Structure 1
Amino acid sequence: ETERDELSDEEEELEEKENAETILLGFLSLCEQCYLAPRIYDVAKSYEWREKILPAYDEERFKKLFRLSRHSFTLVVAHIKNNNVFISEGNKQQAPVELQLAVFLRRLGTMEDIFSIGSQFGIAEGTVILYSKQVMKALCHLQAKFVKWPSNAPKKDPETFFNHKKQYSIQYQAIVDANGIFTDFYIGWPGSVHDAK
């Protein structure tokens, strides 16, 4: 009986190892997949709004929708359109930069969920995320060109901007809630003004 017990213990250990390997292989297989559920390609979409209605919007409606004037929108497109993120790596051509920027601005400028934005533009939720990431990368590449921290004295009343650390500065105050959302900000006091102001 002891031999039989030892054999069954060994068999049991071997079976446990095989089960663990099977589970691990299943997990690795799952990790290699991009999607947990099969993709659905035949979801009904409409391009009517973005192709017919959006171009007919007047300047005021356009600005409400994208938080930019048409002129500013066109300038942003001109600055980002040649960025490498908009060059297709496969056989399928990318969507126009104008569409990607519009989706990005709509996402940033509203509290709408990505399903609603995707439905409005006739694209899938994943595409809303993709366009947002691509536009954000393109805009980040422009940071050095457009975001400048002043380091020289201003021409008017330079002494008022000279702070206690012997640098020229301007004060900035921001209030952020528990969710990391900016609820208020103020920029403007010269660096020589006490922080309590």
Structure 2
Amino acid sequence: MPRQTDRQVLTEEVLVLFTQQLLTEEQESLNNLLYEEPNDSDSDDGEDIPAPQLSEVYLEILRELHSSRYLQQRISILKTPQQLWLTLNVYKKDHPELFRSYLRISPATFDILVQTIQGHSVFHNQSNQQQIPVDQQLAVTLFRFGHYGNAATLQKVGLWAGFGYGTVDLCTKRIMAAICDARFRRAVMQWPTERQKEDAKAWIESRSCPSWCDGWLMVDGTLVPLFARPGFYGNSWYDRKSNYSLNVQLISTPNLHIIDYGVGLPGSQHDATAWKQTRIPQEHGTLLKAEEWVWADTAYLLQTWCQAPYKKCVR
């Protein structure tokens, strides 16, 4: 169940008190009408102003509770963007090993990734407030993804980058929106050329037999553990290895060049199900020739274009 905020918890408690008090006051009012004798005094001089009902006090508390965005006074925490600046302007050029230790990818790969996603609409809007440069948003996101546990929290990442916690979360969402876009997938996952395909077939033939040379692609799945049980539909992420995880499918050539992938399904999903989300099961008639197939294990549905290593090639 998703965690409730302090405001939500307090609101529920005050509403319970308000409801109980309102019922009590209505019962008292009804008793007064039924059992008390009417007052025949014609003098209103010196009549006291009635005190507010306790239910009205609870309503005022609710109004105060929701009149401000923050329940407590905001405390400014001193942050500096120097570490992010050093990573992108000094370590990237002069100390690539330090750059890789922070962001988990090489400077060249980082530049290509920025160039690929910077044209996405998520980084452009009609606001007068200009967005943070794409390279900084990507660096913050990669730094967050490259750490685990408390080191990956919004607070720790924000202090490292010199950004607010909300800004870190917003950068992560923008980068993920650009990377999960189908256009990005088509841009980075290039289908092998005829020359690359022939090289792959030659490699297979040199290490097996001529009859198997047309099986020049490999597929397999892996489970990526999650730090904690997801708040929504948590049980569906529980896998056969007793972890909460993501199912990731990778299709590659013999030289480990990845040409397609499938991500997003929970770890409880079978490889055969996750495999259906990739291009080859959907477009094998277009991508593969009639005699070509993909090497797989017995977790996958065996067909003429998807074969287990010990199965003889189906002609």
The interval holding the TM-score normalised by the smaller chain is: 0.5 to 0.7
State the SS of the aligned residue for 1:55: helix
More deviation in 98-107 or 122-131?
Answer: 122-131
Shift in Å, 1:98: 0.7
State the SS of the aligned residue for 1:46: coil
Alignment pair present for 1:86 and 2:150:
no
Matches within 5 A, 1:148-187: 155=198, 156=201, 157=212, 159-160=214-215, 170-175=218-223, 176=239, 177-181=241-245
Map Cα deviations across residues 108-158 of structure 1 (whole Å, 9 max, x no partner).
Answer: 1111222111111111221111100011111122124334799xxx65245
Shift in Å, 1:4: 6.2
1:107 equivalent in structure 2: 144
Cα pair distance change 1:44/1:78, threshold 3 Å: same
Contact 2:87 2:99 in 1 (8 A): no
Aligned residues: 174
Return the match for 2:185 from 137, 143, 153.
Answer: 143
1:51 equivalent in structure 2: 85
Q: CA RMSD in A?
A: 4.1
Contact 2:220 2:249 in 1 (8 A): yes
Amino acid at match of 1:5: N
Q: Which has the higher contact order (CA 8 A, sep 6+)?
A: 1
Shift in Å, 1:72: 0.9
Map Cα deviations across residues 40-85 of structure 1 (whole Å, 9 max, x no partner).
Answer: 5x32111222224652221111112111111111111111112121
Cα pair distance change 1:149/1:172, threshold 3 Å: farther
Shift in Å, 1:170: 3.8
2:170 equivalent in structure 1: 130
Cα pair distance change 1:96/1:187, threshold 3 Å: closer
Structure 1 unmatched ranges of 5 or more: 10-14, 162-168
Instruction: Extract structure 1 runs of 4+ deviating beyond 6 A.
Output: 183-188
Cα pair distance change 1:4/1:137, threshold 3 Å: closer
Quote the Cα distance in structure 2 between the aligned partners of 1:148 and 1:180: 31
1:96 equivalent in structure 2: 133
Matches within 5 A, 1:10-21: none
Shift in Å, 1:7: 3.5
Contact 2:221 2:247 in 1 (8 A): no
Contact 2:218 2:251 in 1 (8 A): yes
Shift in Å, 1:89: 3.9
Structure 2 unmatched ranges of 5 or more: 1-28, 36-52, 202-211, 224-238, 253-294, 297-305, 311-315
Quote the Cα distance in structure 2 between the aligned partners of 1:61 and 1:94: 27
2:227 equivalent in structure 1: none
State the SS of the aligned residue for 1:64: helix
Map Cα deviations across residues 144-182 of structure 1 (whole Å, 9 max, x no partner).
Answer: 4334799xxx65245547xxxxxxx74413345544236
Quote the Cα distance in structure 2 between the aligned partners of 1:178 and 1:148: 35
Cα pair distance change 1:193/1:94, threshold 3 Å: same
Identical-pair percentage: 26
TM-score, L = length of structure 1? 0.66
Cα pair distance change 1:35/1:88, threshold 3 Å: farther
Quote the Cα distance in structure 1 between the aligned partners of 2:129 and 2:167: 14
Cα pair distance change 1:122/1:146, threshold 3 Å: same
Quote the Cα distance in structure 1 between the aligned partners of 2:138 and 2:119: 13
State the SS of the aligned residue for 2:119: coil
Cα pair distance change 1:96/1:174, threshold 3 Å: same
Cα pair distance change 1:145/1:53, threshold 3 Å: closer
